[in-house]
Chain A
């Protein structure tokens, strides 16, 4: 069977959920090889094997970790040329897209970004224009290089025992132009990552203040979900930008999305439209968010949310 490369995305030595999703998707396309660019492959091997990687290409070292993506793209492009895979999958994250973009230029190859499905013929499905349009497209020059949107499929294990091959990291000065001088990890507690969470609870301008966001966090924690925010809430300084959902923030596609004090502007909907179930709490019965909510509560979030939190605690 043809070899399919999956570029591993990990955070602090742990494979992200999107990596397991890509491995699961890759199994439908061929023999799965995971590619670890930077960090340490040994720490990831068990998990990658559990989800079906029969081989791991490990490219490690300070030359990859200490700079932005150029070097990783150089290593990946060389690997692609050497093994001629049937397809290459990367995560639709900032880094995944950046590596994919550079590799596409290096190999003069097409690429598809943000796909939510990919069939055996290399036809990818994308959801564009604020979730209003579905596009099917394919790479017409070279092999399919595809970035996969998190939460597009359910990862399932298929245990394999991967062999590990060290890959040479041969870089030039051009790969080391953008040097990372500091990496700051901000404590985010036990909450799941926004883009990968299966439950997201978001607050908007209606939440009223940074302090009041504790209410949003409380409900999120009770449900085991991540916290999101509208742009109005972020711009008002209620919550940090990395949690913004929408056109100019994160795109999320959880099982459950709860919108608290969010009007449902088209640019917000762009980031959450494909959620499986949507719940909205808003005191304005005419708020557009109700047009897409499976369950809507017209009322004051400061009454509804504490009551709901209390009720969930009772049931636990």
Chain B
């Protein structure tokens, strides 16, 4: 089984993040960039499947040059190789266009199974998995908290607002995972050294048969009109609990008409 894991480099969600004032895109140059956290769970899940069933694990990233750091980090966890789609024309791409590029690269790889994080911490858009599956005409099992593979048949469990549901499909398919699915491993020293020598193939849009005008700002299906910093919340009244902290809390609730 060939498993392709989608990995996105994102600005660290624990640090200050900004949009650029010149072109309204995510400011990646001044941010500290990391692997989208949810993608580490996707990598872990792929490695566990490989350990149980054999096969190959390939990392796939669409992103600027500097995403190479995140790709090497992903490889240090254990995957066999990586594909990096990098092209200046991609800058400014919307989700619809990005899904086109990812779908083309997945198709070229001939993946049996695609695993990705349920969402990225920068966009939090959550639409890519179904967009890709729609383009490839394969099943999408999204939001998995548990994945079982038996030959070509896949079963996931996913959380719903009411409880959970169990969903099945056959390969080829795409599975997106939440952070409840496993505990990702830390790269070992050996893994970090090995990652430096693992094959990393770089592809341009041309290699995927996609024209520059279909992506980036030219091909964007939505645009940012303007953006601004939200004024930070102001701290209000802070009291010491003393002996009657609970009563004071309720007094406040009453003054705001919550009780």
Does A104 sit within 8 A of B, measured CB to CB? yes
Q: Is the interface of B mostly helix, strand, loop or mixed?
A: mixed
Partner pick for A111 among B127, B169, B224, CB 8 A cutoff: B127
Kindly provide the distance from the CB of A186 to the nearest chain B CB, expressed in whole angstroms: 4
B1-31 interface code vs A (CB 8 A; 1 in, 0 out)? 0000000000001101111000000000000
Residue of B131, B134, B145 most packed against chain A (CB within 10 A): B134
Does B44 sit within 8 A of A, measured CB to CB? no
Q: Which positions 271-316 of chain A face chain B at CB distance < 8 Å? A: 273, 277-279, 281, 285, 290-300, 303-312, 315
Does A170 sit within 8 A of B, measured CB to CB? no
Does A73 sit within 8 A of B, measured CB to CB? yes
Chain A residue numbers with a CB within 8 Å of B130 are: 69-70, 73, 98, 101-102
Chain B residue numbers with a CB within 8 Å of A277 are: 256, 258
Does B52 sit within 8 A of A, measured CB to CB? no
A262-275 interface code vs B (CB 8 A; 1 in, 0 out)? 00011100100100
Binds A, one of B62-70, B77-85, B193-201, B227-235: B227-235
Expressed in whole angstroms, the Cα–Cα distance for A248 and B108 within the complex equals 31
Number of A residues near B (Cβ < 8 Å) is 95
- Structural contact, A298 and B131, CB atoms closer than 8 A: no
Does A153 sit within 8 A of B, measured CB to CB? no
Chain A residue numbers with a CB within 8 Å of B135 are: 105
- Structural contact, B221 and A111, CB atoms closer than 8 A: yes
Does B210 sit within 8 A of A, measured CB to CB? no
Q: Which positions 113-165 of chain B face chain A at CB distance < 8 Å? A: 121-131, 133-135, 137-143, 145, 155, 159-165
From A241, which residue of chain B is reached at the shortest CB distance? B180
- Structural contact, A308 and B250, CB atoms closer than 8 A: yes
- Structural contact, A140 and B222, CB atoms closer than 8 A: yes
Expressed in whole angstroms, the Cα–Cα distance for A148 and B125 within the complex equals 12
Chain A residue numbers with a CB within 8 Å of B99 are: 101, 105
Partner pick for A297 among B37, B161, B227, B239, CB 8 A cutoff: B239
Does A214 sit within 8 A of B, measured CB to CB? no
Chain B residue numbers with a CB within 8 Å of A242 are: 159, 161
Kindly provide the distance from the CB of B144 to the nearest chain A CB, expressed in whole angstroms: 11
B231-243 interface code vs A (CB 8 A; 1 in, 0 out)? 0110111111110
Kindly provide the distance from the CB of A164 to the nearest chain B CB, expressed in whole angstroms: 26
- Structural contact, A109 and B237, CB atoms closer than 8 A: no
Does A138 sit within 8 A of B, measured CB to CB? yes
Expressed in whole angstroms, the Cα–Cα distance for A294 and B137 within the complex equals 50
Chain B residue numbers with a CB within 8 Å of A12 are: 162
Knowing A281-B249, A307-B245 touch, does A267 contact B221 (C-beta < 8 A)? no
Knowing A134-B228, A183-B163 touch, does A303 contact B223 (C-beta < 8 A)? no
Partner pick for A178 among B16, B123, B141, CB 8 A cutoff: B141
Knowing A223-B259, A307-B244, A308-B250 touch, does A97 contact B179 (C-beta < 8 A)? no
Partner pick for B235 among A180, A247, A293, CB 8 A cutoff: A293
- Structural contact, A132 and B141, CB atoms closer than 8 A: no
Does B58 sit within 8 A of A, measured CB to CB? no
- Structural contact, A133 and B134, CB atoms closer than 8 A: no
Can you add 16 more A-B contacts, CB < 8 Å, to A178-B173, A308-B249? A97-B125, A97-B127, A104-B96, A105-B134, A109-B96, A113-B126, A128-B124, A130-B13, A131-B230, A138-B223, A181-B155, A193-B161, A298-B240, A303-B246, A304-B249, A308-B250
Top 7 nearest A-B pairs (CB, nearest first) are A299-B241, A307-B246, A110-B221, A101-B127, A177-B139, A186-B163, A308-B246
Interface residues, chain B, CB within 8 Å of chain A? Answer: 13-14, 16-19, 37-38, 94-96, 99, 121-131, 133-135, 137-143, 145, 155, 159-170, 173, 178-180, 220-230, 232-233, 235-242, 244-250, 252-254, 256, 258-259
Interface residues, chain A, CB within 8 Å of chain B? Answer: 11-12, 68-70, 73, 93-94, 97-98, 100-102, 104-106, 108-114, 123, 127-142, 174, 177-186, 188, 193, 195, 199, 222-223, 241-242, 247-248, 255-256, 265-267, 270, 273, 277-279, 281, 285, 290-300, 303-312, 315
**28 A-B pairs (CB sep. < 8 Å):** A68-B167, A69-B130, A70-B134, A94-B142, A98-B127, A101-B134, A102-B134, A106-B134, A110-B222, A113-B126, A128-B19, A133-B229, A135-B226, A137-B224, A138-B225, A140-B221, A180-B165, A183-B165, A186-B162, A186-B164, A255-B258, A292-B235, A293-B236, A294-B236, A303-B246, A305-B246, A307-B244, A311-B246
